[in-house]
Structure 1
Amino acid sequence: MRHLPYATLFACFVAPAVFAADTSAAPPATQAVLHDIAAAPSADRIEADIRKLVSFGTRHTLSDTTSDTRGIGAARRWIHAEFERISAQCGGCLEVIDVGDTISGQERIPEPTEVVSVLAIQRGTADPGRYVIMSGDIDSRVSDVMDFTSDSPGANDNASGIAGTLEAARILSQHKFPGTIVYAALSGEEQGLFGGKIVAAKAQAEGWRIEAVLNNDMIGNIAGINGVVDNTTARVFAEGTRVTETPAEARARRFTGGEVDSPSRNLARYIDRMADLYVPNLDVMMVYRLDRFGRGGHHRPFNDLGYPAVRVMETNENYNRQHQDLRTEDGIAYGDVIEGVDFDYVAKLTALNAVSLAGMASAPPPPADVSIEGAVSADTTLKWKRPPATQAPNLAGYKVYWRLTTEPQWTHSRWVGDVSQHTLENVVIDNYFFGVSAVGKDGSESPVVFPGAAGSFGGYGSP
């Protein structure tokens, strides 16, 4: 962050009218439509989708692509057709496309293999260039990652994530949003995250302004190998400092903070808040790590390009049901079979995704170019840029947030109205972390943006 000369800072402080908050009434704290969306996911529909995906026998990336009843090809064609069916029910509101490439010469894909993902794109009405994405993985595997012929049901890993994504599309496609929502069924995860890499590269090449990626990988197991049975919590994994951070940005962060306020971390805080507001009997455990220890998921290719992305998943895993040949040994049943999926729990985590996607797509874009001042002062001043009116016709104004540096979640906030800067008097910059969110007239709200490059969700770009 560039430090302003003291003369400039003084000039700012002697013009209190510039920083005066808009005294207009704050928008409502919640949206009634999000309560309806949270209640809409159907465990029965989700179960039917998971059973259909399991029926393909195996969905291994290297499996049959020509059969209509078995293998990855049949599975992805069914997903494509299901997205088309959902689109027909909303008057063609979804653009359904296959996105793929031929991969070869890799440790887990040695021979040329088509890796094809399926996207259903619900274009925004005002800001279609801004994207929020929900994803799941099509493929499955057994103990040997190269075994593409044995039965590999993949009921929880990851038919549950695909079923949740399809169900979210059914629900949200009945509504219109200013921002664009993408429902993504990604391939090639078990062989090296290739589907995510291909789609992330497409997004970068086409200039998508990605606000959030919610990768759902295993959202159906409630009985952990640790003996815990719990259907009331979910984990959200979020990395800290962007891997794309430049040396200059790292130097600035050393003095201004931001290690725990990357856009991915503030996306996780947003999802946690949406659970508290809209999803009964569900608590989000935010995990300050890219993924499970030493493991990976399809959000990582998006993180690798600097996009905000998190992994949403069950809290208690059962490793006997992951990446296992179907068998029974010493009285223990191994394999990712449908009996290990709790469909009501999948519906609950689908609701969490749906309200988070709808909330962000409804809200104005996150504030851009957020900066902060207040060194050797009793007051702290935040500044930001407003978006073009065409991109945010529902913008009501902004909220300023702050918290102690050891707090995981934002604890203080103030509605400041439709302004582009605000001074918090007698709130010392050295003692807190700060951020700003954009608020819609209906009460929809963006994630909180931490000042500087460390917390930036990006600029406004093109609509």
Structure 2
Amino acid sequence: MTYDLRRNSWLLLVCGLGCGQPGGSATVTEPTTGGETSTTTTTTGGGTTAVPTGSTTTAEPTTGEPDPCAASPQALADCIDPAAYAEDLQFIADVRTPGTPHWQAVQDLCADRLSELGYEVVLMDYGSGVNVVGRRVGKTSPEQIVLVAAHYDHISDCRGADDNASGVAATLEIARLLAKAEFDRTVQVAYWDEEEDGLIGSEAYVAAATAAGDDIVVDFNFDMIAFTSAAENSQTVPVGFELVFSEAYAELEANQFRGDFIAIVNSSKAHEHALAYAAAADRIGLRRALIELPAGQETSELFADLRRSDHAPFWDAGYPAVFLTDTSEFRYANYHCMAGPDEVANLDLEFAAAVTRATVEASAVALGM
């Protein structure tokens, strides 16, 4: 998650200014199933989308028996593998400043895993960084896209376990489960680069998607989903929060401001998708706070701290987006390693698995299952 030292309160501008849209062309490398690659070029101002066209293959050979996980959105969500999530998280959580060896290793992990699962994979090289985007085409409404995404870069000298290895690991597990079913709509799974430098990777993707006229139904964006605290008053809120989000504030107050929930932050256009996520969370007993911005205020500087991740470019372009977060430094003192290391040992993996599980269900509902 991005940070700006100019922030004096939660309702002052943090990011958005100076997070300009990159220009020029973007090189897109498409790994093939045989391990070879082909390269095409797409421009942010042209009519070419950031993802490839064509059909996809299924991830696993069929046996003729239906996969019980694919029976319903709830069944799919309940097939989550917490051990697989933990294994991926442990690998990802290391210094991965763009251009470093581990940044490359995580990029390779995301691309290879998506390819193994049967997704079409694009490496979107937009000049200063590389997004990894996978796609499985929908059956009846392939032009409609449901996106699940997280940024994979981080700052130097910090392992970034919560920020944002926790989100990348969740997205990998969601990709595995969504590959088990066929959907009416197209699913895209994406890993953004250079979020910490000003949302540059997601800006590049949105620019290309907008130019191509892509129909993005919703973007579920992860950024920090694994730290909790059961201690009273461990959750802080900014000055003015209670004036705009009185219902959410009352719920926090009733819970003695414990930092034990996932924040669901959404634009009004994503209202139904946020409600679907809240219902999925309620079904499995995951505490959550539903925070919906007033209609038309998604780009307002008053809500700058709610725009500090890769959902913001989607809001700016008018696309529905849901931001899922443990609220960063409003709960976690080791955000960006400020008060200590951001490492896996600090995190609540059961909570992170529950967040992942709820997102599988909400994503499957959005995909038309």
**TM-score, normalized by length of structure 2?**
0.67
How far the C-alpha of 1:116 sits from its partner, in A, is 0.5
How far the C-alpha of 1:344 sits from its partner, in A, is 1.5
Partner of 1:253: none
Q: Give the 3-state SS of the residue equivalent to 1:307 in structure 2.
A: coil
Structure 2: how far apart are the matches of 1:135 and 1:100?
A: 17
Query: CA-to-partner distance for each residue in 1:22-68, whole Å, 9 max, x for gaps?
Result: xxxxxxxxx952221121112110111011112xx41123x42xxxx
Partner of 2:266: 238
The number of equivalent residue pairs is 269
How far the C-alpha of 1:217 sits from its partner, in A, is 0.6
Structure 1: how far apart are the matches of 2:163 and 2:230?
A: 14
Letter in 2 for 1:46: Y
- Say if 1:101 and 1:224 are closer, same or farther in 2 by CA, change over 3 A: farther
Structure 2: how far apart are the matches of 1:344 and 1:300?
A: 28
Query: CA-to-partner distance for each residue in 1:46-91, whole Å, 9 max, x for gaps?
Result: 111011112xx41123x42xxxxx332222122211222222xxxx
The structure 1 residue matched to 2:292, chosen from 272, 284, 288, is 288
Partner of 2:313: 301
How far the C-alpha of 1:336 sits from its partner, in A, is 1.0
How far the C-alpha of 1:315 sits from its partner, in A, is 5.7
Letter in 1 for 2:109: W
**Bigger share in helix:** 2
Q: Structure 2: 5+ residue runs without aligned partners? A: 1-69, 236-256
Q: Are 2:263 and 2:324, in contact at CA under 8 Å, matched by a contact in 1? A: yes
Partner of 2:96: 59
Structure 2: how far apart are the matches of 1:35 and 1:178?
A: 17
- Say if 1:78 and 1:281 are closer, same or farther in 2 by CA, change over 3 A: same
Letter in 2 for 1:302: F
Q: Are 1:235 and 1:314, in contact at CA under 8 Å, matched by a contact in 2? A: yes
Structure 1: how far apart are the matches of 2:151 and 2:137?
A: 22
Letter in 2 for 1:98: L
How far the C-alpha of 1:199 sits from its partner, in A, is 1.1
- Say if 1:340 and 1:125 are closer, same or farther in 2 by CA, change over 3 A: same
Q: Are 1:60 and 1:72, in contact at CA under 8 Å, matched by a contact in 2? A: yes
Partner of 1:121: 135
Structure 2: how far apart are the matches of 1:346 and 1:44?
A: 12
- Say if 1:292 and 1:166 are closer, same or farther in 2 by CA, change over 3 A: farther
Structure 2: how far apart are the matches of 1:230 and 1:37?
A: 30
What percentage of residue pairs aligned between the two structures are identical?
26
Letter in 1 for 2:96: R
How far the C-alpha of 1:197 sits from its partner, in A, is 0.6
Higher alpha-carbon deviation: 125-134 or 311-320: 311-320
The alignment's C-alpha RMSD in Å is 2.4
Q: Are 1:272 and 1:283, in contact at CA under 8 Å, matched by a contact in 2? A: no
The structure 1 residue matched to 2:172, chosen from 156, 166, 171, is 166
Letter in 2 for 1:51: Q
Partner of 2:115: 84
Greater length-normalized contact order (CA 8 Å, ≥ 6 residues apart): 2
Structure 2: how far apart are the matches of 1:283 and 1:196?
A: 28
How far the C-alpha of 1:288 sits from its partner, in A, is 2.9
Structure 2: how far apart are the matches of 1:202 and 1:174?
A: 29
Q: Are 1:214 and 1:309, in contact at CA under 8 Å, matched by a contact in 2? A: yes
How far the C-alpha of 1:125 sits from its partner, in A, is 0.9
Query: CA-to-partner distance for each residue in 1:309-344, whole Å, 9 max, x for gaps?
Result: 12012268543211126xxxxxxx612111122221
Q: Which has the larger radius of gyration?
A: 1
The structure 2 residue matched to 1:49, chosen from 63, 81, 88, is 88
Structure 2: how far apart are the matches of 1:295 and 1:188?
A: 15
Q: Give the 3-state SS of the residue equivalent to 1:298 in structure 2.
A: coil
Query: CA-to-partner distance for each residue in 1:275-306, whole Å, 9 max, x for gaps?
Result: 33xx4112431113456736511000111110
**TM-score, normalized by length of structure 1?**
0.54
